[in-house]
Each structure stands twice: as structure tokens, then as C-alpha cells.
Structure 1
Amino acid sequence: MTPPGSALLVAGVVVLLLLGWVAFTLTRLRRLEGRVDRAWDVLDTALARRADLAAAAARERPAVLGEERARALASAVAQARRPPGGDREAAENALGRQLRDLAHPGDEVDDAAWRVGLARRFYNDAVRDTRALRRRPAVRLLRLRRRRPLPRFFDIDDGMDAVVGTGPPSTR
């Protein structure tokens, strides 16, 4: 083979390898974005379930909770369902603080709070992985998926940050 022919062959192989990498990376980005979407749906459902259970506790047990605490809990639930100013994280934090202040909100509420923490972790892990891939120099240089906004982390104080490798809280 002549030198120009071998250079053309090498260039063709490099272009094919680059196209294969781009296809692989685009597929991975789409899968990660799908993972973020699914994790958000699970987190949103867990947050709604926790709010529903907290509202039921405030409505059905005001004598046990105390009238003032039941009103504060109901107010926090209302703000979590329709966050003022659109700041859902702050509203969910307020609801979480109200629930933690209760002596024993009930096993279902504890379970729902635990599920919120796990769902938040899965969601934030998916966001982290997506952002890490999108920050790679080659991905930024080729502007892959640049029209899609970067997903945002959902950071609330659910008491799960210090928990590593343990099960749900005991009901003893």
C-alpha cells in the first residue's frame, strides 16, 4: 500500500472510532437522563406520600399532637404541596423539621420519611453521574446534548446524610 493510501486508511479508522465513541456516549447520556427522570418521579411520589401521611396525622390526631403543633404541621404540609416562591426544597425542609419535632409521628410516617431519604439519594446519584459525564472535556468540546439543561440536585435535610448502610429506623 502506498504511503498516502495508508494515511487515508488510518484516518478512516480514527473517524470510525470517533463516531463509535460519540454514539456510545450519546446513548449513555440518554440513559442517564432517563434514569434522572425516573428517579425524580420516584422522589416526587415519596414526597407526596410523606405529605399525605403528615396531613392525615395532623387532621386525625390533633389531640395527641397538640392543637398548635397540628396546625403547624398542616401549614407545613400545605406549603410543601404548593411551595411559596417555587422553593420546594425549603418547603420540604420545613415539613421534615415539623415531622422530626413530633415525639412519635407513627410508623407509616417514619417509613415514608425513610423512603424520601432513599429516593433523594438515588436521584442525586443519577444527577451526579449525568453531570460528571456532561462535564468531560470531549463531551463539552463536541457539545453533546448541550440543548438539554443540566439536572439539579435536590438537597433537603432528611437526616439521611449520616446514615450509611443501615436499615430503616427501628419501631421498638
Structure 2
Amino acid sequence: MIPMWWLAVLVTIVAVFGAYATWTVTRVERLHRRARAAESALLAKLDDRAETVLKFVGNPGFEEVVALALSVVAVPADTQRQRELREYAENDLTRALRDLAENPLWSDDLDSANRRVALARQIHTDFVRDAVASRSLTMAVVLRLHRRLPRPEYWDIDDPSSEFGSV
């Protein structure tokens, strides 16, 4: 016959293990949800910036930037290939905007849009870093969460605030 205190110890160990497993699953899933939400916010800020650029249609010197903004808006980010094309288009737009930063028609709206993109990019990068790190927790590996949850991806885009001033 097993002494009663052994049964209490066994139940306590199982309860602690179950609580830790539940906490780990919740944490990993929450970090992945936040990374997806941050990516949606980043895409929204990138679209907002492109729409801000489109306000300059017809202004001399802004033809290339407007064309690049149109290409950015036209490319969704649903598949991996579309995502890569979107990254290239965003980087081209950022470089073109850097070249126009001294244009007298430059507006505070463009500065503001670039700052919002830079902030959204940093937040997204932080959440992706945390979500990717959470996938390597021992309990996450044991529970095979890395197979169930898609791995968040970084956006390889230039930091728009690096040349436009401080954030």
C-alpha cells in the first residue's frame, strides 16, 4: 500500500507540471498572436505612408516616388513571393523618399508617416523576436508547439527614420 503522503506529492507534481505546461502554451500562443497583430499594424502603417505619398501626384520631382507608392499599394503580402516583392517595393520607396527629404514640397505628413512606420517596424521586430525565442522553450519543444504554430517572419525593410530625423 502506498502511503498517503506519496499520493499527495505525486498529485502536487502533476498539478505543477500541468500548470507550467498550460502557462507555457498560453504564453507562446499569445506571443504569436501579438506578432501577427504587429505585422498587420506594420502593413497598415506602410499602406498609410504610401497613401500619404500619393497625395503628391502631379507635383514636380515626386513622379518616381508616386510610382513606387502605387507599386507598394498594388502588392499584397499574402504569399511568400508577394511578401518579398512588397519588401523590395518598400525599400525602394524608402530610398526614394530619402532622396526627396530636402524637397521644399516635403511635408510634416511624410515625416510623421515615416516615424509611424519606424515605430511599427520596431514593435513588430520585438514581438517576432520574442515569439521566435518562445518556440525554443523546453516545454514548447516537448509539446511540439513549433509544429502547430507558424513561425513569425521578420520584415526586411529599411528603417525609414534613420535618414529622416529622430523618432
TM range (shorter): 0.7 to 0.9
Q: Greater RCO between the two (CA within 8 Å, min separation 6)?
A: 2
> Could you tell me which amino acid in structure 1 is paired with residue 68 of structure 2?
A
Paired residue type of 1:154: W
User: Which secondary structure state, in structure 1, belongs to the residue aligned with residue 38 of structure 2?
Assistant: helix
Gaps of 5+ in 2: none
**CA–CA separation in structure 2 for the residues paired with 1:114 and 1:93:** 15
Worse overlay, 90-99 or 10-19: 10-19
- In the alignment, which residue of structure 1 is the partner of 2:122? 121
Query: Which residue number corresponds to residue 14 of structure 1?
Result: 13
RMSD value, Cα = 2.5
**2:148 aligned counterpart, secondary structure:** coil
Q: What one-letter code is carried by the residue in structure 2 that aligns with 1:112?
A: A
Q: In terms of mean alpha carbon deviation, does 108-117 or 129-138 score higher?
A: 129-138
Task: Tell me, in whole angstroms, the C-alpha distance in 1 between the residues paired with 2:161 and 2:108.
Answer: 17
- Segments of 5+ residues of structure 1 without an aligned counterpart are none
User: In structure 1, what is the equivalent of residue 39 of structure 2?
Assistant: 40
**1:119 and 1:145 mapped to 2: Cα distance?**
25
Corresponding residue of 2:109: 108
1:147 Cα shift?
A: 1.3
Stretch of structure 1 that moved more, 148-157 or 34-43: 34-43
For residues 108-134 of structure 1, the C-alpha deviation after alignment (integer angstroms, 9 at most, x for no partner) is 011101110000000111111111111
Moved over 6 A (4+): none
CA gap of 1:127–1:161, structure 2 versus 1, over 3 A, is: farther
| Cα distance in 1, alignment partners of residues 88 and 7 from structure 2 | 59
Cα distance in 2 between the residues matched to 1:36 and 1:129: 9
Q: Which amino acid aligns with 1:92?
A: E
